[in-house]
Structure 1
Amino acid sequence: MPILAVRDSALPGTTDLPCVLARLPSRAPVVVMIHGFGFDPFDPQSDPHLHILGLDPDRRRWGAVSWPRRLDLAGDRGLGVAWGWPSTGTIWQANAQAAAQGKKLARFIGILRALDGQRPVHVIAHSLGARVAYSALTDLGPNDVQRVVLIAPALSLAEARAACRSPAGRMAMFVNVTGRENRLFDALLLAALPYRGRRLARRSICDDNWLDLALDDPDVLGTLRQWGWRIRPARVRICHWSGYLRPGVWRLYQDLLLRPDETPLSCLRTATSGPRGPKGLRSVSLQRLKALVRRGVPS
Structure 2
Amino acid sequence: MLLAIAATRCCGAGMALLSINSDDTFDSGALRRALASLPEGAPVVVMIHGFKFSPACRTHDPHDHILSLRPGRACWKAVSWPKHLHLHGAAGLAIGFGWNARGSIWRAWRASARAGRRLSRLIALVREAAPDRSVHLVAHSLGARVALGALPGLPAGAVARIVLISAAAFRTEAERRMATAAGRAAEVFSVTGRENAVFDLLLRIAMPLGGATLGRRGPPMARWLDLPLDQAESLEALAALGFPIAPPRVRICHWSGYLRPGVWRLYRVLLLTPEATPLGVLRAQLARPAPRPTPVRALARVHR
Q: Same-fold call, TM > 0.5?
A: yes
Cα deviation, residue 193, structure 1 = 2.1
Aligned to 1:146: 160
Aligned to 1:180: 194
| AA partner of residue 128 (structure 1) | L
Aligned to 2:53: 39
1:200 aligns with 2:213: yes
Distance 1:11 1:146, change over 3 A: farther
Instruction: Give the secondary structure class of the aligned counterpart of 2:79.
Output: coil
Q: Following superposition of structure 1 onto structure 2, how do residues 111-190 of structure 1 map, counting pairs within 5 Å?
A: 111-190=125-204
1:17 to 31, 40, 52: 31
Cα deviation, residue 19, structure 1 = 1.5
RMSD: 1.4
1:91 to 100, 105, 115: 105
Aligned to 1:55: 69
1:191 to 180, 187, 205: 205
Aligned to 1:76: 90
Cα deviation, residue 203, structure 1 = 2.0
Cα deviation, residue 8, structure 1 = 3.2
Aligned to 2:78: 64
Normalised TM-score (structure 2): 0.89
| AA partner of residue 119 (structure 2) | L
Is there any run of 5+ residues in structure 1 with no aligned partner, and where? 280-299
| AA partner of residue 198 (structure 2) | L
Per-residue displacement from partner, 1:102-158 (whole Å, max 9, x unpaired)?
111101110110111110000001110011111111121100000011111111110
Instruction: Give the secondary structure class of the aligned counterpart of 2:164.
Output: strand
Instruction: Give the secondary structure class of the aligned counterpart of 2:59.
Output: coil
| Aligned length, in residue pairs | 278
* Equivalent-residue separation in structure 2 for 1:169 and 1:154 (angstroms): 18
Contact kept in structure 1, 2:162 and 2:188, CA below 8 Å? yes
Contact kept in structure 1, 2:192 and 2:228, CA below 8 Å? yes
Contact kept in structure 2, 1:38 and 1:88, CA below 8 Å? yes
Structure 1 stretches of 4+ moved >6 Å: none
| AA partner of residue 44 (structure 2) | V
Aligned to 1:209: 223
Contact kept in structure 2, 1:11 and 1:104, CA below 8 Å? no
Per-residue displacement from partner, 1:58-111 (whole Å, max 9, x unpaired)?
463131100000001111100001001110100000000000001111011101
Contact kept in structure 2, 1:8 and 1:41, CA below 8 Å? no
| AA partner of residue 200 (structure 1) | T
Normalised TM-score (structure 1): 0.90
Aligned to 2:10: none
Contact kept in structure 2, 1:232 and 1:246, CA below 8 Å? yes
Aligned to 1:100: 114
Aligned to 2:251: 237
Contact kept in structure 1, 2:22 and 2:119, CA below 8 Å? no
